[in-house]
Amino acid sequence: MAITRRHFMRTTGAAAALSLASPMIARAAADTIKVGGLHDLSGALDLVGIPMNQVFQMAIKEINEAGGLLGKEVEGVVYDPQSNMSLYSQYATQMALKDRVAVVMGGITSASRETIRPIFHKFKTPYFYNTQYEGGVCDRNEITIGTTPAQTVARIIPYAMNLYGKKVYTVAADYNYGHITSAWIKRFVEEQGGEVIATEFFPLDVAQFGSTISKIQAAKPDFVCSAMVGSSHLGFYRQWAAAGMKEQIPMISTVLGAGGNDQIVLTAAEGNGILSSFGYFEAVDNPANKAFLERVKAEYPTNTPIMSEISECTYEGMMIWADAVREAGSTDRDAVLEVIAQGKTYDLPAGKVKIDPKTHHAIRDVYIAELRDQTFAIRESYPESQPADTQMVCDLIADPNANKHYEISL
């Protein structure tokens, strides 16, 4: 990457031995508050992980510039799990046991989250999961900031059906997220009196979509809903446009633009008109967002990362946690969680965000945007969307010891 890399103080096993021998290092460590960042910086998910990490560092810097936390400097501990599940597990244990971080931001896919969430629960390290996902986590120790299908899919389906019609064709990635999202799509379509003509699943490494495109043409839906994930699946949008289908059948997506890169990888011709729904777009118009985007540009002037829900939520996670620490007066997990559970409303770049005490998920503003000339333009916004899906299965007030990821069956 052309951006300047930063160095961080690393704590490894060897360093731990060193710190016993060298009192100076040990003393320095006690004077800072450590926050852990566990995002993929290499491997298949680096496209998403790197911007998240950049925002993570920026947030740390912002907190320190405002005077730190509780009189101490905040120090980031960053490990790169290299899109590898066993590394996730190892680094999570290391952060909790060896580095003793006060909080962790991280995990991208649901697989990685479910690997590290039980580890942090066991070792009582507060954990913020900032990625949009399929809903259902019931764990007091995890604050889930990202949007769930009940917030996004529930909005975009009626909107699209109003615009285009009632017959839908779904194409989705063949793994848990894709399956669950397509189940939600079906439910919301049917709730609105529509019909999902067919749902097709594609393994993540499939790059040829000719047969599906022909099948869609035969089925003649009113619009196509895509839950395709990853770089191979971008080929679908490309081949769709190449077949001349863009003018024929409109397309919406629950995933496109999630990581902030898709919109520039697709050309304008390929992307124009695709609708997407997330908790954040760069186009959101409020003072917090203006300041946020300015800071991102100042911090990373070359190759400025495009902000998406995932990266902006990482910022939200840091800020909400920092605020809770200040109010609680300590980094102790239970004190911090108690403050967060009070349900304060925060003014963040995405709009107003509140943490629901019942589920520790975010109640937030949700937007529908249209891709135009490689940027998203907001068409509709829905304030205070509840994470209704997780609320169906989880009540942390009644059961504070819950520690499970429910697969919400529809």
- Angstrom distances, CA of residue 243 to CA of 66, 171, 229, 306: 54, 17, 21, 29
What's the rounded Cα separation, in Å, for the pair 270 and 379?
Answer: 20
Question: Does residue 43 bind another protein (CB under 8 A)?
Answer: yes
The smaller minimum CB distance to another protein, of residues 214 and 342, is found at 214
Question: Does residue 245 bind another protein (CB under 8 A)?
Answer: yes
Q: How far is the CB of 175 from another protein (least distance, A)?
A: 3
**DSSP string for 147-194:** --TTTTHHHHHHHHHHHH-SEEEEEEESSHHHHHHHHHHHHHHHHTT-
* Cβ neighbours of 12 (radius 10 Å): 11
Question: Does residue 26 bind another protein (CB under 8 A)?
Answer: no
> What is the H or E stretch that residue 59 is in?
helix 46-65
Q: What phi and psi values does residue 212 have, to the nearest 5 degrees?
A: -65, -40
Cβ atoms 384, 365 nearer than 8 A: yes
What character string, x for contact with another protein (CB under 8 A) and - otherwise, covers 91-120? x-xx--xx-----------xx--xx--x--
Question: Does residue 1 bind another protein (CB under 8 A)?
Answer: yes
Question: Does residue 375 bind another protein (CB under 8 A)?
Answer: no
Question: Does residue 290 bind another protein (CB under 8 A)?
Answer: no
Question: Does residue 174 bind another protein (CB under 8 A)?
Answer: yes
Among positions 28, 29, 197, 204, the unique one binding another protein when judged by CB under 8 A = 204
The smaller minimum CB distance to another protein, of residues 71 and 401, is found at 401
Near another protein by CB under 8 A, which window of 159-167, 238-246, 354-362, 379-387? 238-246
Q: How far is the CB of 381 from another protein (least distance, A)?
A: 27
Q: How far is the CB of 183 from another protein (least distance, A)?
A: 9
Question: Does residue 10 bind another protein (CB under 8 A)?
Answer: yes
Please tell me the total number of residues recorded for the chain in this structure.
Answer: 410
The smaller minimum CB distance to another protein, of residues 24 and 218, is found at 218
Termini Cα distance of the chain:
43
Question: Does residue 25 bind another protein (CB under 8 A)?
Answer: no
Among positions 64, 239, 272, 375, the unique one binding another protein when judged by CB under 8 A = 239
What's the rounded Cα separation, in Å, for the pair 29 and 102?
Answer: 13
Question: Does residue 210 bind another protein (CB under 8 A)?
Answer: yes
Among positions 33, 160, 266, 325, the unique one binding another protein when judged by CB under 8 A = 266
Q: How far is the CB of 258 from another protein (least distance, A)?
A: 13
Distance of CA 191 to the CA centre of its chain: 27
What's the rounded Cα separation, in Å, for the pair 116 and 244?
Answer: 44
